Every structure is written in C-alpha cells, then in structure tokens.
Amino acid sequence: MFVSKVIFYLWNDVFKDYGFDDKDFQDEEGKILSFDRFYEDKNGKTNVDIAIVELFLENLGVEEYISEEEEEKIDAVPSNNETKGNDKTKYSFNGSEPLGKGDLGISIIKQYLKEHPEMKYSEIKETFPDSMLGKELKLIGLIVTRQEIIENAIERYKQRAYGFYKKRKFYSSDGVEFYVSNWWNITNIDSIIKFAKEQGWTVETTK
C-alpha cells in the first residue's frame, strides 16, 4: 500500500510537468510506463503488475532497503543443507572493505565482466555455470535473464536471490540483459573464491 501511494504521488505530482521521452519512463521496448500499466483488472479485481512496478522503480534508481538482519538471513544456510547455523565471515576482495558472501560473489563476477567486455551471454554462462552455486539451493541459475526470473524463479527467491537491482544487472556484448544471483553461503562460497584466485586476485577473510 505504501509503495502504491508513493508511485501515485511521483507520477501525478512530481512527474506530471515533464515529458515522458526519457528512458526512465519506458520499458525495454520503448513503451511508456503509464500509471495504468501498474495495475490490471481481472474479473473485477485489481491486481498489481509487480514486474512493471519493479521496472519503473529500477529505472528511477530505487533499490530495496535490506537491513543487516535481512542480509544475514540471505547469507544464512538454507534449512535443507547439511550445514547448520549462520556463518557471518566477511571477506576483503582486492583490498576492499569487508564484504558479506553475497556482495563478494557479485564483486568477483563484476570485476571479471569489467575485464572482459567482449563476452557474449552464452560465454558468460559458460564461465559462471550454475554448478558454482552447488546443488542445495533451489534457484534457477547463477546468471539469468530478467524474463527467466519472472517466469521461473520461486516467488520467495525473486527478490532475495535475484532482486532487479542495478548492482546486479549487466549486459553482454550481444545485448542480453542479465542478473547475477547473490545467494552465496558456506556451502558454495569456495567455488567463487577459487575462481577469483585463479585470476590472480586476492580474497582474504576479515572475521
């Protein structure tokens, strides 16, 4: 409800005097994200089109606030894993400030993509196979497209494991928009650390 009111205020009071030619107000196909697209009526019932709302907020640079407690839950080992409890180890990547496992994984992949901008989507998928996440997590993959997330990801994992945030969004050289999962924990973090060290980078524990 709060988000709905904020969007209504932004659209009708803040943006009303502006044109809508800017990409912030358009979807991937260049169609205007008009206010009526945020909702749809089905059988007399109004439903929120979550994907459209998320796209609009993402275009504006709005990111979901995740508290430290929630970050710990994200880093926590799923209950169906053989390992129990939370591991709060922090890491320094190439001398960075302490990072949790989720941010460490994303930082390593981001650095590799920065050094290899010529890579196509299929090559990126091959470099970072889903197997790096292990077999315990019920995710659709490590590197996935927006459409794959919307259509295939388990609902409760869409935000926590893939959230459409700018720091997780990338484009391949052949124009594919994709997202990187942040779901790293003590059952799989060694795979991405090993990858980083193979590139000659440093990963050190800070706690």
- 88-130 pLDDT, tens digit each: 899 999 999 999 998 899 999 999 999 999 999 999 999 999 9
Residue 149's pLDDT is 74
The answer to whether 181 and 131 are in contact (CB under 8 A) is no
Residue 49's pLDDT is 74
pLDDT for residue 35 is more than 80: no
CA distances from 137 to 165, 182, 186 (A): 21, 12, 12
The answer to whether 91 and 184 are in contact (CB under 8 A) is no
Averaged pLDDT, 175-179 = 89
Confidence of residue 162 (pLDDT cuts 50, 70, 90): low
pLDDT for residue 15 is more than 80: no
Confidence of residue 70 (pLDDT cuts 50, 70, 90): low
pLDDT for residue 4 is more than 80: no
How are beta strands 169-171 and 177-180 bridged, if at all?
A: antiparallel
Rounded Cα–Cα distance for residues 13 and 7 (Å): 10
Confidence of residue 78 (pLDDT cuts 50, 70, 90): very low
Q: What is the pTM of this model?
A: 0.60
Query: SS3 string of the chain?
Result: CHHHHHHHHHHHHHCCCCCCCCHHHECCCCCECCHHHHEEEECCEEEECHHHHHHHHHHCCCCCCCCHHHHHHHHCCCCCCCCCCCCCCCEEECCCCCECHHHHHHHHHHHHHHHCCCCCHHHHHHHCCHHHHCCCCCCCCCEEEHHHHHHHCCHHHHHHHHCCCHHHEEECCCCCEEEECCCCCCCCHHHHHHHHHHCCCCEEECC
More confident: 88 or 25 = 88
Mean pLDDT of the residues in the chain: 76
**What residues contact residue 64 under an 8 Å CB cut-off, 6+ apart?**
159, 163, 165
pLDDT for residue 24 is more than 90: no
**What residues contact residue 110 under an 8 Å CB cut-off, 6+ apart?**
167, 170, 180
Q: Which among 2-6, 125-129, 165-169 has the top mean pLDDT?
A: 125-129
Rounded Cα–Cα distance for residues 81 and 204 (Å): 25
More confident: 72 or 136 = 136
Residue 107's pLDDT is 94
